A and B are shown apart, each in its own frame.
Chain A
Amino acid sequence: MSLSNLIQNWNSFRTRRPYEGQYDDAPYKWAMVIDLDACIGCNACTVACYAENNLPVVGKERFGKGQAMHWIRIERYWGEGDAMTSEFPDHGAQYLPMLCQQCEAAPCEPVCPVGATHHSPDGLNTQVYNRCVGSRYCSANCPYKVRYFNWWNYPDRAWPNPLELQLNPDVTVRSKGVMEKCTFCMQRLRAGMDKAKTEGRILADGEVLTACAQACPTSAITFGNLADKKSKVARMWKNQQVDLAKDSQEKSEEGIRGYRILEELNTYPSIVYLERVRNLEA
């Protein structure tokens, strides 16, 4: 970055993000809503992500060491109410799909020594594999633990011939020593945005979906453009009374389920979860 560029954009570098109305003039701000009441823990989103984003299957042993490369994982929590002591403890299983929260004030971004991760104009937390030197500082600083490091050169073994033909050509096959993370299926968004720009419009709601949202059988994952006030995701954020630029959400009444994970850390995530509701007496 040149000095003149830095001086010219000084204000935007010094502004605290996010702020109210940050994306009012922007065409895109990608966001998500995940309804935990609808999630049945089937792992279809994880499988779709593996297929779409060239994720290697690392095997049982490395999975046990915590080296799995799943950009979206289903976290299980047990024991709602007195379910654990009952005859059917599975009754109390809860599922939570955990993926990169695309934080507006992402803890991973400022700590990268080489600037391999930065914030894109459409509100995504990007990772550039070529620039990454593998310091793993970003992963250490991520409170959600959704950054994954390539401890091995997986392309050698993960796709033996002819399985390499299944690889998605629009996504880089990462090599040993780089960090990777959920991109909100940037390759799909980019193709859609380029097409829309040629046609002189912005993307319509639901025109492009992430692989996980597309695969979800119960439509628990809603993906869309938060900058477009009429999009489904923007209406859900509004109905759930979640504001992107606030770190604690005031609800006007009981029973509004929307929340963001670890909001008290001031990360301002782009994913809203809808709390699970169960009638334990039933």
Chain B
Amino acid sequence: MNYGKRIFLWIVLFWIGSAQVFAEPFVQGGPIGSQTSDGYDALGPVVEQPIEFPHNTHAGRMQINCMYCHTYARRSNVSGIPRLDKCMGCHNLIEGVKDRPRIKKLFEYWENKQPIPWKKVHDLPDFVRFNHERHIQRFYFQEKRPVREVCGYCHGDIASMTTARRVKALSMGWCVSCHQKDHLEKAGSTVTSHGPNDCWLCHK
């Protein structure tokens, strides 16, 4: 076999090998319920909510802070799904939209004294601990970044969706990719540091 042929063979072998080794199992982003070619549910299962809650109206057009409803994000591990009386606190007083079908459904739940069975969209595995409080305290309260940006790191631009859907992979490699980046320690400073990378920070 001459030299040129051998090099060509190596290039072909390397190309085949690399395609298998470096095949990316996760698809970041994509339409609701999208799957990878090997059937992996990269973005979680398709979730249909009992009421098609318009995040785009509340967080987008009305500019309501995410933490007005998801109150626990700033002081606990979980951000929390708001209780029905949080919805009613405002909607009792908003006469203009009471005849809309979604609001009628809301009042139905309220009159039947039933909680709305919201379904979880951003569901992490049971062996993972994610602390909303630390992320919100650091980026929103200390660095005063806009709330849409801070929540959007993991949740995408919810303010442009109706019901929330997963647009980020939420896999370990995806978390670490952000923790490895050099972030500014304070707004306006030049000192950078990256997120902690201890196993037991997230694995429990």
Contacts and interface: CB of A to CB of B under 8 A. Distances in A.
Interface string A181-199: 0010011001000100110
A129 B127 contact: yes
Contacts of B126: 172-173
Contact of B133 (A120, A130, A171, A194): A194
Interface in B104-146: 126-127, 129, 131, 133-134, 137
Interface in A156-191: 170-173, 183, 186-187, 190
Contacts of B88: none
A172 B200 contact: no
Given A120-B199, A129-B203, A186-B204, A172 B127 contact: yes
Contacts of A173: 126
A126 B201 CA distance: 11
B129 A128 contact: no
Nearest to B137: A198
A171 B204 contact: yes
Interface residues of B, number: 14
Nearest to B198: A120
B134 A183 contact: no
Contacts of A100: none
Given A172-B127, A190-B129, A128 B203 contact: yes
Interface string B183-204: 0000000000000101111011
A118 interface: yes
A124 interface: yes
Interface string B5-41: 0000000000000000000000000000000000000
Contacts of A198: 133-134, 137
A186 B127 CA distance: 13
A243 to B, nearest CB: 25
Contact of A190 (B127, B137, B201): B201
A121 interface: yes
A186 B200 contact: yes
Given A170-B129, A194-B131, A120 B137 contact: no
B204 A118 contact: no
A173 B126 CA distance: 9
Given A194-B133, A198-B133, A198-B134, A130 B127 contact: yes
A273 to B, nearest CB: 25
A130 B134 contact: no
A98 to B, nearest CB: 22
A225 B204 CA distance: 21
Contacts of B204: 170-172, 186-187, 190
A194 B127 contact: no
A84 B200 CA distance: 46
A183 B129 contact: no
A173 B133 CA distance: 24
Residue among B127, B133, B201, B204 having the largest count of chain A Cβ atoms under 10 Å: B204
A126 B198 CA distance: 9
Contacts of B133: 194, 198
Contact of A130 (B129, B201, B203): B203
Interface in A88-144: 118, 120-121, 124, 126, 128-130
B156 to A, nearest CB: 25
Nearest to B74: A198
A5 B59 CA distance: 40
A38 to B, nearest CB: 30
A38 B137 CA distance: 43
Contacts of A121: 196, 198
A126 B200 contact: yes
B134 A194 contact: yes
B35 to A, nearest CB: 22
Nearest to A120: B198
A233 to B, nearest CB: 20
Given A194-B134, A198-B133, 18 more contacts: A120-B198, A120-B199, A120-B200, A121-B196, A124-B200, A126-B199, A126-B200, A128-B199, A128-B200, A128-B203, A129-B127, A170-B129, A170-B204, A172-B126, A173-B126, A190-B200, A190-B204, A198-B134
The 10 closest A-B pairs by CB, nearest first: A172-B127, A126-B200, A128-B199, A198-B137, A128-B203, A120-B198, A186-B200, A126-B199, A194-B131, A194-B134
6 contacts: A130-B127, A172-B127, A172-B204, A186-B204, A187-B204, A198-B134
Interface of B: 126-127, 129, 131, 133-134, 137, 196, 198-201, 203-204
